Chain A
């Protein structure tokens, strides 16, 4: 349950316009850390957290963040027919244009993204965009969730040890 709550919150933070511009690499690890604290409070068990448990909570926080993040992103794109790809496309064109590479490569890259952009503008959905979004979300959120779980468990255990000896 704590993983679900924190994963949902992190997933929403990754998607909501404006809020996501404040997001950083600490959002998912922090969610896993908060999930560990909530887990301890909900079970009233303040013993040492095992690394296995920390990894599991981090993993599920990451999975829930990825599921909700991807779902809301796809849904918002479908409804509004707008997303970061559309907004940043002129910037991408400019950036690709400035690279010291051959014109063929530039055309190839821009053609690929022009297709994605057209699909989103007309139907609100692109298979390529959805595929890369889901893969990215799951890979990053799970990786950062597990890392956050491991680091978080060490911080909590360390703090609990210190307070025991006071």
Chain B
């Protein structure tokens, strides 16, 4: 996959990530406030948006929870990493399974009260999953491009 496509992919992912930190942009242009409820609805489709699980800073809140933010930022990090080093052609499924297991373990642990919900742990487990999932997404895109370039 050419560098320009990889850069475009990274830019699209960056736009998506900026979208859920939209509240931080409103002081730059107050007219953006009119878009906030619509974006809130957009991101509500893919995240429960529970108040206690959102990333907060300076009174602003993210539009997705810490774990979802971690997944998307992980995907973004993977896409940026792919600009410098091509992801492995056949990523090991054990690594993905391990990331999913860690995430499920965190969900189970705080759900049964072993420890309190931690935004940092949720973010890290999401980030791990997102960054590993990117290599699968990347390989899927390569396969798709190859099928279009070299149709059977």
Contact = CB atoms under 8 A, between A and B. Distances in A.
Contacts of A98: 59
B8 interface: no
B41 A136 contact: yes
A160 B140 CA distance: 15
Given A25-B64, A136-B42, A151-B136, A99 B26 contact: yes
Contacts of A54: 140
Interface in B4-37: 26-27, 30-31, 33-34, 36-37
B30 A52 contact: no
What interface size band does chain B fall in?
Answer: 35 or more
Interface string A4-28: 0000000000100000111111011
Contacts of A105: 30-31, 33-34
Interface string A105-121: 11011001100000000
Given A25-B68, A50-B143, A140 B42 contact: yes
A158 interface: yes
Interface in A96-141: 96, 98-102, 105-106, 108-109, 112-113, 132-133, 136-137, 139-141
